Structure 1
Amino acid sequence: MLSFVFQRVVGRCPQSIEATLNDWKRVRVDKESFPAAVPASGDQVRGILWLGLSTDEIARLDQFEGEHYQRMSVQVSALSGERHAAEIYQWVRDDGLINEPWDIDWFKTVGIKDFSSKYL
C-alpha cells in the first residue's frame, strides 16, 4: 500500500521497510484500479512492510480491505536479507481477477484518480 493511502486509512505512516514476498504476485482486478495478491510459485511481490501497528490500526486496514480479502501470515525478506513475519491481504473470491500483472507505475499516474474518488 502506498504511503499516502496508508496514511488516509490508518491515520499515520509508521516506520516501514522495503520487503519482498516470494511465491506471490499482484494481478489486476476486473474494472478496478487496485491489485489483488495471490499465491504464485516462482513470482515475487516487492512492497512495504509497515512496523509497529496497533490492534485498532489493523482493524482499520481490515475494514478498508473488505470482504474480498483475507489477512494471512507470511514471511518476507528485507533488502538486507533479514526475514520478517508479516501479514498480507489475499484475494479470496473465485472471480474478478485478470491474470495480468498489476502495474504500480500506472496506478501512481493514472489509476490513483479513480481509486481515490471511490475509496479514499
Structure 2
Amino acid sequence: MVQRPTPLFFYGTLQSPIVYARVISRHLGSHFKQPKNEPAILKGYKRSRVRNAVYPAITASPFDQVEGMIAYIETQKEVDILDVFEGDDYKRVPVKVLVKSSSTEADAEVYIWVAEDDYLEDCEWRLEQFEKGQSQQWVQDIDEFGNVDNMTASGTESVGGVLEG
C-alpha cells in the first residue's frame, strides 16, 4: 500500500533546507530527501517571534495571514519526527492554505502555538534574517535538537534520560 504524502504548512525554520535536513536526515540516513514543496499562504493566523529564541510561532488572528510553504511529507516516520521536534509548545492542526502557483485552496496541517502568549514578541519573524544570521549556528546547537536526536528506532524518545513510549 502506497502512503499518500502528508501536506504540512511550514512558516518558520523548517522552510530552511538545512534545518529540515538536520531534523530528519539522522533518522532516515540514505533514504533522506527534501520534501516537494511550493509557496503558500495561511489566512487567519499571525506569525510572531518566540522570546529568547530564533524560531517563530503562529496564533489565530482573523485579519492576518502568514506566508510560508506547503511541504509534502512522504512518510509517517517523518511526521512523527517533526511532532517531536516541535514539542509541547505546538500542536499540529488541520488548516486550508492558498497555494500561490495555482491560486487554489489545499488541505494541510500546521503547528500552532499552544503555550502562553507571554512567550511571544510583538514583532514579525523573517526567514531571510534567520537564514542570513542564525541558521548555520542554530543547527549545530545540540540542546535545540535533543528530543529529536534522542529518538530511537522504535519511535520512543529520551526525555531527561528516561525512555518514553
* 2:119 matches 1:105: no
Higher relative contact order at CA 8 Å, sep ≥6: structure 1 or structure 2? 1
Q: What is the aligned-residue RMSD (CA, Å)? A: 1.5
Listed one character per residue, the Cα deviations across residues 3-56 of structure 1 (whole Å, up to 9, x for unaligned) are 221122223212111111011121011110111111112211111111143111
TM-score normalised by the chain length of structure 2: 0.67
**1:16 counterpart residue number:** 37
Percent same amino acid at aligned positions? 30
* C-alpha contact (below 8 Å) 1:34/1:115 kept by paired residues: no
Q: Which has the larger radius of gyration?
A: 2
- Return the letter of the residue paired with 1:91: W
Whole-angstrom distance in 1 between the partners of 2:63 and 2:70? 20
Whole-angstrom distance in 1 between the partners of 2:73 and 2:129? 30
Of the structure 1 ranges 18-27 and 106-115, higher mean CA displacement relative to structure 2 is found in: 106-115
* Structure 1: segments with no counterpart, 5+ residues: none
TM-score normalised by the chain length of structure 1: 0.90
Give the paired residue count.
Answer: 120
1:87 is matched with which residue: 109, 112, 128?
Answer: 109
Higher strand share: 1
Instruction: Return the offset for 1:117.
Output: 3.1
Instruction: Return the offset for 1:113.
Output: 4.1
**2:52 counterpart residue number:** 31
* Structure 2: segments with no counterpart, 5+ residues: 1-13, 26-32, 146-165
Listed one character per residue, the Cα deviations across residues 56-75 of structure 1 (whole Å, up to 9, x for unaligned) are 11000001111111111100
- Return the letter of the residue paired with 2:65: Q
* C-alpha contact (below 8 Å) 1:33/1:114 kept by paired residues: no
Whole-angstrom distance in 1 between the partners of 2:113 and 2:48? 10
Of the structure 1 ranges 3-12 and 69-78, higher mean CA displacement relative to structure 2 is found in: 3-12
